[in-house]
Amino acid sequence: MNIFRLTGDLSHLAAIIILLLKIWKTRSCAGISGKSQILFALVFTTRYLDLFSSFISLYNTVMKVIYIMCAYATVYLIYGKFKATYDGNHDTFRVEFLLIPVVLLAVLINHAFAPMEILWTFSIYLESVAILPQLFMISKTGEAETITTHYLFFLGLYRTLYLFNWIWRFYFEGFFDLIAVVAGLVQTILYCDFFYLYITKVLKGKKLSLPA
């Protein structure tokens, strides 16, 4: 495993833990898009079905289990334990506009027309756009709590580091996955504007505000 993948995985894990701690400590899921969290839970579920059929390494298995458990724990906190604090009035992104194209793409453009491969491809495509409901919610409310922006920053950092991981693997392992790379580029581009605002405002102690 190269350093970019390891730090990418740790950044991803940090983002998930930051979000869970934010919800648990404040006893509130205000400002968090439940729709984005459902999409991420769907991403992990469809991507890691191979937990039941193959073993790569202990690290790989443990990380997959952690991602799945944390994703569903987050969904439970939002729609269960702290449902009264969930701002559904602002979490209005039409997720069917993401799911339908993603399903079609996964069926039409994949490495092999087999159930497991289609589901893996679906998860890759879906992850690239799963954050859109959260970004849409922030743009609708006009601002975001600092802890929420930290969560988004580490998610974006994870995806950026994974792009370097693909470059490393191409040059040193001869491995290249066009589907994963293109989806990763799309996801990173979605974070570009946020990264600029994070660096220029949040790191200077200002509250992140976005145009409605």
CA distance 154 to 162: 12
> How far apart, in whole angstroms, are the C-alpha atoms of residue 66 and residue 75?
14
205 pLDDT exceeds 60?
no
pLDDT at position 212, please?
47
pLDDT tens-digit map of 43-85: 999 999 988 888 889 999 999 999 999 999 999 999 999 999 9
Overall average pLDDT of the 79-97 stretch: 93
pLDDT tens for residues 116-128?
999 999 999 999 9
Q: How many CA atoms lie within 13 A of 174 on its CB side?
A: 0
**144: which DSSP letter?**
E
- This prediction's pTM: 0.89
Residue 150 CB contacts under 8 Å (≥ 6 apart), including other chains:
18, 202
Can you give the pLDDT at residue 143? 65
Whether 207 shows a pLDDT value over 60: the answer reads no
Euclidean distance between CA atoms 28 and 134, whole angstroms: 16
Write down the H helix ranges in the chain.
Answer: 3-26, 34-47, 58-76, 96-108, 115-129, 132-141, 146-173, 178-200
Query: Best-predicted range by mean pLDDT among 54-63, 100-109, 179-188, 201-210?
Result: 100-109
Higher pLDDT, 134 or 201: 134
Cα torsion 188, 193, 196, 199: sign: negative
Q: Which residues contact 201 (CB under 8 A, 6 or more apart)?
A: 207, 208, 209
How many Å separate Cα 37 from the centre of its chain?
A: 8
Mean predicted lDDT score pLDDT of the chain: 88
DSSP assignment of 40-75, as one string?
Answer: HHHHHHHH-GGGGT----HHHHHHHHHHHHHHHHHH
Residue type, 48: Y
- For the purposes of burial, counting CB atoms within 10 Å of the CB of 121, is it exposed (0-12), middle (13-18) or buried (19 or more)? buried
> pLDDT by residue (tens digit) across 158-198?
988 998 999 999 999 998 999 999 998 988 888 876 666 66
